[in-house]
Structure 1
Amino acid sequence: MTSIQILAPVPGVAVALADVPDPVFSQGMVGWGAAVNPPPGPVDAVAPVGGKLFKLMPHAYVVMTPDGVGVLTHLGLDTVKLNGEGFIALAAEGDEVAAGQPLMVYDVPAVTAAGYNPIALVVVMDERDPNSVTGVASGEIDGGGVLFTVSR
């Protein structure tokens, strides 16, 4: 069994996944993890783990670890509807990235002004066992701080 530390993509207040107001995430349909409520200004969103930037969308990205664990970072709820507004990519799909490396500028004020919840979600894709996610942070967390640990 391997333990992987998953970093917070943005600074803010750590939130348990069950408390996210979106059933797709709060019920673990995508996978299990945690979330961060970001501060009200623009922030850099960082890689939660090191590996290959497997998928890059304007509002989300997936980093695949060398061990084949996919970690999704989704910036905001329903932000796909913004068609990229409020997000600036700092890396390209296929890049090798280090844990904590800035991957995107996240314009939190633009997202909230458009009426969307800016919460940043981090889930281990296809992780079906919520008990595999441990040590979930609570309270204030720095971007790049350990948000949780997953055992696989």
Structure 2
Amino acid sequence: MTTVLAPVAGTVIGLVAVPDPVFSQAMVGPGTAIDPAREPVEAVAPIDGTIIKLHPHAYVVVGDDGRGVLVHLGIDTVQLKGEGFRLLAAEGDHVEAGQPVVAWNPATVEAGGRSPVCPVVALDASADAVHVLAEGPVSAGDELFQWA
């Protein structure tokens, strides 16, 4: 069982509410999404593991069990080419759950006409393997879902 933590504070809204079909239809995997607080924040690692992909707007942490969790900071934020994001870790780093990975400001993303919603996805998991624990408001580091 892997417990996945909320990477940012905000309100849990579920993947179906994400304004991008790749996430809302769970094409990359099951999970949930957080509508983040509109303030500068440090997005944290959702699990203990190694950062295998790190873009300013998204990152993947893979645990020792081989399970990967994708955190995507906003929708269409790849178009920002890193502007407004500051890396606090590097690809290949081993991180503990709750350790800061990327600093960003969801309000700035929203002001630029993009959704700041943050999908958190269990990569290559079956839909029935993920049990969402959190509803409503969460703080960064709160238990978000369990992956059986």
TM-score tier, shorter chain, comes to over 0.9
Please give the per-residue CA displacement for 1:93-142, whole angstroms capped at 9, x wherever unaligned.
10000001011102112211111000111101122x21211133111000
**Would you identify which runs of 4 or more consecutive aligned residues in structure 1 move more than 3 Å?**
none
Residue from 108, 111, 130 that aligns with 2:127: 130
Residue 21 (1) aligns with residue 9 (2): no
SS at match of 1:31: coil
Q: Contact 1:16–1:136 (CA<8 Å) still a contact in 2?
A: no
Q: Contact 1:90–1:102 (CA<8 Å) still a contact in 2?
A: yes
Residue 58 (1) aligns with residue 42 (2): no
Q: Which runs of 5+ in 1 are unaligned?
A: none
Aligned amino acid, residue 141 of structure 1: V
Q: Which runs of 5+ in 2 are unaligned?
A: none
Q: Contact 1:60–1:74 (CA<8 Å) still a contact in 2?
A: yes
Q: Contact 2:32–2:132 (CA<8 Å) still a contact in 1?
A: no
Matched residues in 2 for 1:10 and 1:147: separation?
Answer: 10
Matched residues in 2 for 1:135 and 1:24: separation?
Answer: 19
Residue 120 (1) aligns with residue 115 (2): no
Please give the per-residue CA displacement for 1:67-101, whole angstroms capped at 9, x wherever unaligned.
10111000000100000012100001100000010
The alpha carbon displacement at 1:27 in A equals: 0.9
Residue 41 (1) aligns with residue 39 (2): yes
Q: Contact 1:51–1:64 (CA<8 Å) still a contact in 2?
A: yes
Relative to the length of structure 1, the TM-score reads 0.94
Aligned amino acid, residue 136 of structure 2: G
Aligned amino acid, residue 88 of structure 1: R
Matched residues in 2 for 1:89 and 1:61: separation?
Answer: 10
SS at match of 1:63: strand
The alpha carbon displacement at 1:143 in A equals: 0.4
How many residue pairs get aligned? The number is 148
